């Protein structure tokens, strides 16, 4: 039955191979159950409820991806979008987290409509690869500066904006060692390198009495503090259309880059470079975002860590189903998740940023009209502390430089459309 449903033989794989791939993917991305609640707690959300919402959103999105699209891709709340939710929308703009969840819900509905219509598929296939890669890299750098801030390695400074913190603090030292351990374990291709390092740093903190002794297994916390708390009317009344647009645009390119990367790694792309069953995959992504906002978490998106499972042999949706089952079992480890300190999870943000940066090699560094917009995109995100601003700067600079260089053939209607919308956003404010 599994062979027939997931087409295992056709994809030259087996049940055992798919299960191993699913476990590998889960171990590489399971840090999200620790990091996501930590970031959203900064927005004032209940950490235990967000933990449950994170797990359930991952289960729902990943199951749909595996069963409907038959992709070996796992979904969970995206770290870049979670950072935008917390640090730009809630803390930066002063929007209540309930209203911000309402904006996520609306964006999910827009995702769904665009996924059913050919619009979203058209956008993904027509956006230049340079901007796709640059957006992913910029989000990575944005995560890095947040991680460095949370570790205490960089601190605010009145004259230079940022400066080095006290590098001899025990928590800073543990963060640095955790990051080095992640890199070493990942280099040795040990599954769960990020998770192992987070737990190792937490254990060291407990032994040094920097962190209280955590619990491990218990009943899942209550979901009530975040369940159905999204304020949809408030998101519309407060004029958050620009925020909703940013959620739509950011998730669009985030999921697009991940789906392209994973399907290429799995050998699923056809000779024309098109993705099979793309509409089904986009449907899974948008449905997961709606479900996540209802449960109480930020935008749910496809995870690039799915490539780890592909490298382990994952080729079908059975890999994704395996990941979903493991996220469901994770619900019973809430005490451990709640006790993980920021100095243990912050290095994961920096490490994920490094992994996301490796694709920058795909930018055409021999073409000035390509790499300058890419660099502007990547610099603007961390330096303005806004993913939306970085994306906007990137699109506008790409369209402007190409136009003034008489390279109009490189400008697709989608690039001009998105650039125009961002330009209006910056002018209107």
pLDDT band of residue 56 (cuts 50, 70, 90) is very high
Cα(68)–Cα(90) distance, integer angstroms: 34
- Confidence check: pLDDT of 336 > 60: yes
Contacts of residue 47, Cβ cutoff 8 Å, sequence gap at least 6: 37, 38, 40, 41, 338
Torsion from C-alpha of 203, 205, 207, 211, nearest 10 degrees = -100
| pLDDT at residue 313 in the model | 73
Listed range (114-123, 127-136, 246-255, 269-278) with the worst mean pLDDT: 269-278
Q: Could you read off the pLDDT of 17-26 as tens digits, one per residue?
A: 888 778 777 8
User: Closest Cα partner for 59 from 292, 399, 271?
Assistant: 292
Cα separation values, 230 from 48, 83, 110, 296, Å: 17, 18, 16, 7
- Confidence check: pLDDT of 27 > 60: yes
The residue assigned the tokens 């990575």 is: 140
| pLDDT at residue 261 in the model | 61
- Confidence check: pLDDT of 52 > 80: yes
Cα(29)–Cα(186) distance, integer angstroms: 12
Q: Could you read off the pLDDT of 371-387 as tens digits, one per residue?
A: 999 999 889 888 887 66
| pLDDT at residue 324 in the model | 93
pLDDT: which is higher, 121 or 325: 325
Mean pLDDT, rounded, of the chain: 81
| pLDDT at residue 168 in the model | 83
Burial class (CB in 10 A: 0-12, 13-18, 19+), 379: middle
| pLDDT at residue 400 in the model | 92
- Confidence check: pLDDT of 228 > 60: yes
What is the percentage of the chain residues whose pLDDT exceeds 70? 86
- Chain Cα centroid distance, residue 209: 32
What is the percentage of the chain residues whose pLDDT exceeds 90? 11
Tell me the domain boundaries of the chain: 2-218+231-428
Cα(273)–Cα(12) distance, integer angstroms: 21
- Confidence check: pLDDT of 338 > 60: no
Q: Could you read off the pLDDT of 165-224 as tens digits, one per residue?
A: 788 888 889 999 999 998 998 888 786 677 788 788 888 888 888 877 666 677 777 888
| pLDDT at residue 55 in the model | 92
Please state the pTM of the whole predicted model: 0.68
């Amino acid at each position: 039955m599994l062979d027939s449903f997931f087409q295992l033989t056709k994809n030259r794989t087996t049940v055992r191979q798919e299960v191993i791939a699913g476990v590998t993917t889960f171990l590489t991305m399971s840090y999200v159950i620790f990091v996501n609640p930590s970031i959203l707690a900064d927005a004032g959300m209940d950490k235990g409820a967000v933990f449950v919402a994170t797990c359930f959103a991952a289960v729902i999105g990943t199951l749909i991806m595996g069963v409907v699209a038959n992709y070996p891709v796992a979904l969970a709340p995206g770290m870049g979008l979670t950072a935008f939710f917390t640090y730009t929308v809630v803390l930066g703009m002063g929007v209540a987290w309930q209203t911000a969840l309402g904006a996520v819900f609306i964006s999910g509905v827009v995702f769904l409509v665009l996924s059913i219509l050919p619009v979203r598929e058209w956008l993904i296939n027509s956006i230049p690869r340079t901007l796709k890669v640059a957006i992913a890299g910029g989000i990575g750098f944005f995560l890095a500066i947040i991680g460095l801030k949370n570790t205490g390695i960089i601190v605010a400074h009145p004259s230079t904006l940022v400066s080095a913190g006290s590098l001899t603090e025990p928590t800073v030292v543990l963060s640095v060692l955790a990051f080095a351990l992640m890199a070493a374990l990942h280099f040795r291709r040990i599954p769960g390198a990020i998770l192992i390092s987070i737990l190792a740093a937490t254990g060291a903190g407990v032994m040094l009495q920097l962190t209280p002794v955590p619990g491990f297994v218990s009943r899942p916390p209550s979901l009530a503090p975040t369940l159905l708390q999204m304020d949809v009317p408030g998101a519309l009344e407060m004029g958050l259309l620009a925020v909703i647009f940013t959620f739509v645009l950011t998730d669009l390119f985030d999921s697009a880059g991940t789906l392209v990367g994973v399907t290429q790694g799995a050998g699923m792309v056809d000779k024309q470079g098109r993705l099979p069953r793309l509409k089904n995959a986009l449907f899974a992504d948008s449905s997961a975002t709606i479900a996540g906002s209802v449960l109480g978490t930020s935008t749910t998106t496809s995870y690039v860590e799915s490539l780890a499972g592909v490298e382990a042999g994952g080729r079908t949706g059975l890999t994704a189903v395996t990941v979903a089952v493991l996220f469901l079992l994770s619900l019973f480890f809430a005490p451990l998740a709640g006790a993980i300190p920021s100095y243990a999870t912050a290095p994961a943000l920096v490490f994920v940023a490094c992994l996301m940066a490796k694709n920058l090699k795909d930018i055409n560094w021999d073409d000035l009209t390509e790499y300058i917009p890419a660099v502007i995109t990547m610099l603007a995100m961390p330096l303005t502390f806004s993913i939306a601003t970085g994306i906007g700067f990137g699109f506008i600079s790409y369209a402007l430089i190409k136009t003034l260089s008489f390279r109009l053939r490189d400008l697709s209607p989608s690039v001009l459309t998105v650039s125009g919308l961002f330009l209006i956003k910056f002018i209107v404010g």
